[in-house]
Amino acid sequence: MLKKILIANRGEIAVRIVRACAEMGIRSAAVYTEPDRFSLHVKRADEAYNVGSDPLEGYLNPRKLVALAVETGCDALHPGYGFLSENAELADICAQRGIVFIGPSAEVIRRMGDKTEARKAMIAANVPVTPGTEDNLADEDEAATVAAEVGYPVMLKATSGGGGRGIRRCDDEADLRRQFSRVVSEASKAFGRADVFLEKCIVNPRHIEAQILADSQGNVIHLFERDCSIQRRNQKLIEIAPSPQLTPEQRDYIGELSVRAAEAVGYENAGTVEFLLADNQIYFMEMNTRVQVEHTITEQITGVDIVREQIRIAAGLPLGYRQEDISYRGYALQFRVNAEDPKNDFLPSFGKISRYYAPGGPGVRTDTAIYTGYNIPPYFDSMCLKLIVWGLTWEETLNRGARALNDMRVQGVRTTASYYQQILKHPDFRAGHFDTSFVEQHPELTQYSDKSRPEEVALAVAAAIAAHAGL
């Protein structure tokens, strides 16, 4: 078994990995840049090392991170999600320096990170993909020819894209020609590659993803699916496991497709296969070669500790479960509570947490790195915590989510918590009828009243009086 792991990440996922290490008797080594000096992951890890004053550079330098792992006696490195988690160079350098990379091989990361290569692999494995190009587009004329064949609307996508960037919808040829150079520019700036491909745009689909685990002995299992349809500008807000919108037959089919996809590329460790579902047709979208932000809800319904399994697999151990051992119970929701103001077009709201109270009670879990007095730095993602609730029934889970959101207090910054309460009240969401257009189609949900929390109004009034008095 591994003895010491360098966690090449920050925030709540770093805390999550520290906890898994502690339960397994493995020492944890955190890294941080200067703005994260007082972050919770630094406080919770067994050891912590400063990797620079620049807010981002230290988290994005694979050679520095692997060198630190070697210098501090670590035998493995966990990349978490984001940053370098899907960086093949990091996996390569780990292999060169004798450090176990807790994730798939560099070859698989490269193959699945290249969207056109991923499409080819899925086609070969008989996994359905959306109609589009198998290779990168040469120019906008080729894009226009392909678009005419598959039919508008279409999506122009950066081949190395991710996180909702480098994607543009085109509704006609004029729109496509106008957007083509923009996507090429975005791809070059964000991912260092100008390659672009095209897919048929599946209008208002449901976004369904399946969690898989695969070991070095060739065993692959799925842990059922998550519904990630509640999203804004391709960024997930609320995730659900299992999806309340699938039939048992669809659930089995998606699980089988996910295992087939993983086997086709020789996958090892934890990963996620993402699909679009529309008009009872299921299409492969992409494969994420890392632990997902929303792995928590799969853990809640199956009882499987995904991060623990990642570490065991990386240590060369076989999966601790067979497919027939995996079942699910109830429903789970994850709310990405972001430091944003939904009433002001979700403008980021960074600053000091003047008061934080985590909700509790049956079926409630909070994954976070914030605390009272913590300053949320403006250099990173705006997510400040993940609130996860579980219940035996869909209705119980919805009601528990509303109660937990109401119990929670994050003061000093604006958050999306009250907005999520409005979503939970909406009859379509409660009935399990929604797709990726839900947020866009219901802008009225941002027009909620803050009067339900009188202490927050009192704090705002006191702050205004103090500012006016020059205090």
* Active site residue ranges: 290
* 210 backbone dihedrals φ, ψ, rounded to 5°: -120, 135
3-state helix, strand, coil in the chain (%, to 5): 40, 25, 35
Comparing CA positions, the residue from 449, 386, 394 lying closest to residue 418 is 449
Which helix (H) or strand (E) segment holds residue 50: the answer is strand 47-50
337: DSSP letter? E
The rounded Cα 450 to chain-centroid distance in angstroms is: 29
If phi > 0 it is left, if psi is from -120 to 50 it is alpha, else beta; for residue 23 that is alpha
Q: State the alpha helices, DSSP H only, in 265-378.
A: 295-302, 306-314
Cβ proximity of 289 and 105 under 8 Å? no
CA distance to 103, 118, 130, 260, 432, per residue, from 108 (Å) = 10, 10, 21, 15, 35
| Contact criterion met (CB below 8 Å) for 387 and 404 | yes
Please enumerate in sequence order all residues whose Cβ is within 8 A of that of 259, keeping only pairs 6 or more positions apart, or say none: 212, 220, 221, 222, 323
Residue bearing tokens 């940053």: 83
User: CA angle, corner 342, sides to 337 and 344, nearest 5?
Assistant: 140
The residue type at 104 = P
Dihedral sign (CA 321, 323, 326, 331): positive
Q: Reduce the DSSP state of residue 331 to 3 states and report it.
A: strand
- Cα 400 from Cα 385, distance rounded (Å): 17
Task: Return all residues near 62 (Cβ < 8 A) that are at least 6 apart.
Answer: 84, 87, 89, 90, 93
What does DSSP assign to residue 380?
S
